[in-house]
Amino acid sequence: MKKRSAPVDSRTSLAFLKGKKILVTGGTGSFGKHFIDVLLARSEAAKVIVFSRDELKQSEMAARLKDDRIRFFLGDVRDPKRLQRAFHGVDFVVHAAALKQVPALEYNPSEAILTNITGAENIINAALDQGVTRVVALSTDKAVNPINLYGATKLCAEKLFIAGNSYAGSSKTTFSVVRYGNVVGSRGSVIPLFLRKRKEGVLPLTDERMTRFWITLDQGVALVLQALATMHGGEIFVPKIASMKMVDLARAIAPECRLKFVGIRPGEKLHEVLLTEDESVRAKDAGGFFVIEPNFPWWGDGKWPAGSPLPADFRYSSETNDRWLTSEELHEMIGSIQPEEPVKS
């Protein structure tokens, strides 16, 4: 089987991290744990700081990782004073903390706003005040033309981080965003759920037409490292990744199961978009990924000279993607993902 190319080169040199102090918000989440594993294994970073709310997850992570470069910092992105303290002496920040469960946030909008929007503003202010050099924030395809609150909060966060470069002025702090699709096997995602539901013989699906973009943790980490290494400040990095119909995904995971269509959940789309026609006007094809340049006077021209302009009215959508996952590729991506345990009352 011919392998699909990764959206960026996962072997990108991490020499730029030598001697640096890197902090990851949401560091005990699916992305954060994998990102930190890669940093500890492949870089000569001086210090790697896990910033998160859950002391149990931090203690479990500390027991697993035996590296004297790692530090654990309890805190919430909603708390600006705690962020100020955590960011002191830090060179780079990767902001992965977020509330992201779409149905839950539809019914708890104020909580989503406090973490995903106010938290983003707090990150920006702390980075500026403490002289952090580079900040990369994680976003989602749901931020594009959002119809749910999660997507709307991430759209606001994208705007905040891009505009943060305006407030930086002559300081050394720069902000950029990485925007990608569903992460294969991330906590709370559909694949671990389907693996568990196989035992019951029935897989719940919302709509037979639904498609989604899919990215692995390895690909997501590689893109964030690429962004950290090459960012000028103000870009949105969008990977070139594969799509799959949810029906095909379910059949690939459990071909023996019956599919039960339950209807679209609150805030769900049939298809997702990573790059719109309006954004493509100021976007470039940079090889393994797209770069959306900011529409601000401080950006100027020629910061991505190697990229090529996109065709008129270009749209990068999950249902019209030219890259589709096969069942074999999906199984290779799933690897050692474990089924989700049912929630106990």
Radius of gyration over every alpha carbon of the chain, rounded to an integer in angstroms: 20
User: Which tens digits make up the pLDDT trace of 33-61?
Assistant: 999 999 999 999 999 999 999 999 999 99
Do 150 and 238 touch, CB atoms closer than 8 A?
Answer: no
Q: Sorting pLDDT into bands at 50, 70 and 90, what band is 331?
A: confident
Q: In the prediction, which pLDDT does 100 show? A: 93
User: Which tens digits make up the pLDDT trace of 178-209?
Assistant: 999 999 877 667 888 888 888 899 999 999 99
325-334 mean pLDDT: 86
Do 291 and 283 touch, CB atoms closer than 8 A?
Answer: yes
Q: In the prediction, which pLDDT does 188 show? A: 64
Do 114 and 78 touch, CB atoms closer than 8 A?
Answer: yes
138: tokens are: 């994680």
Instruction: List active site positions.
Output: 142
Give residue 289's identity as a one-letter amino acid code: F
User: Which tens digits make up the pLDDT trace of 71-91?
Assistant: 999 999 999 999 999 999 999
Check pLDDT > 60 for residue 1: no
Own/partner contacts of 300-305, CB < 8 Å, gap of 24 or more, are: 303/232, 304/232, 304/235
Q: Sorting pLDDT into bands at 50, 70 and 90, what band is 5?
A: very low
Domains defined along the chain, listed by start: 16-181+214-240+273-312 (3.40.50.720)
Q: Sorting pLDDT into bands at 50, 70 and 90, what band is 8?
A: very low
